[in-house]
Amino acid sequence: MNQDGPMTLVFSCPPELEGFLPPPIPAVQGLPDWFKAMPAMQFNTVEQKEDQTVKRCPPFLDAMTYGFLILLPCDLKFENGVFSWDLPLPFNTLNNEIRSPIYFHDASQVSGTPYHEEDRFLLKFINFWTVAAPSGYSILFTHPVNRADLPFTTLTGLVDSDLYIDNRVHFPAHWHDMEFNGVVPKGTPIAQCIPVKRESWTMQIATMSPEETARARELSQAIARETGLYRREFRAKKR
């Protein structure tokens, strides 16, 4: 894998499935409708003035738009506790035995976790794509960031995807909204892929010096005065 140019994740599917699956997309292309529709400014009832919403918060937006999204391959209907779908995949030599977008884990596999419910299976989203990362990089597979609107929560896992490149990573998920009745549409993000460089880290606990305290106070005051200061002076390019 050439690392002289931009860093690249390679998503591969069996050739017979090309065109039948929605391909992964850069996360910046998968912002939900609620984010696009929300106002950038809103009246702050505590301070009695117009104030910025999280739509203008760079860390909130950067987290949502970083990495790539893997998408649901078909409409998934959930009605009265029952899943149904239509996914007519062609024969393929890699994973022809997998014919559905979801599978299930027994509840015992998450026993002792907040995801455990004795009388319910744990959902597993089937991923039809292998993912290969550059040497030295893992991928954090996690729930699409800030997507509490989805009726499920994808569990988070860190995979050494520069080494584990010849098999697919599926996504366990907790279906938390049992009141949901309807369709999760094809193309809904089911997992966000965030590349992480593997490095050895230590931590240090420190006490701020008078100079550091003064700088922190000045910056805090400047950010309160000047709208967009973080975006202009401290936000690093990510794409």
> Confidence band (pLDDT; 50, 70, 90) for 3?
low
- When pLDDT is cut at 50, 70 and 90, the band that residue 2 belongs to is very low
pLDDT at 81 over 80: yes
Phi, psi of 50 (to 5 degrees): -70, 135
Distances (CA, A) of 39 to 36, 52, 56, 62, 131: 8, 9, 9, 18, 36
What's the average model confidence in pLDDT over 80-94?
90
Q: Which CATH architecture has domain 10-201?
A: Distorted Sandwich (2.70)
pLDDT given for residue 82 in this prediction? 93
210-235 pLDDT tens trace: 999 999 999 999 998 988 899 999 99
Confidence label for 5 from pLDDT (cuts 50, 70 and 90) = low
Averaged pLDDT for residues 41-70: 92
Q: How far apart are CA 70 and CA 193, in angstroms?
A: 8
* Burial classification of residue 186, based on how many CB atoms lie within 10 Å of its CB (0-12 exposed, 13-18 middle, 19 or more buried): middle
* Average confidence (pLDDT) over 1-8: 68
Report the percent of the chain where pLDDT is more than 90.
77
Closest listed residue to residue 193, CA positions, set 139, 137, 124 = 139
**pLDDT tens track for 160-200:** 999 999 999 999 999 999 999 999 999 999 999 999 999 99
Compute the average pLDDT of residues 60-89: 96
Instruction: Summarize the confidence of residues 93-117 as an average pLDDT.
Output: 87
| Number of neighbouring beta carbons within 10 Å of residue 68 | 22
Provide the residue ranges of all domains of the chain, joining segments of one domain with +.
10-201
Give the integer Cα–Cα distance in Å for 99 and 31: 28
Q: What is the pTM of this model?
A: 0.92
Dihedral angle of Cα 52, 58, 61, 62, to the nearest 10 degrees: 180
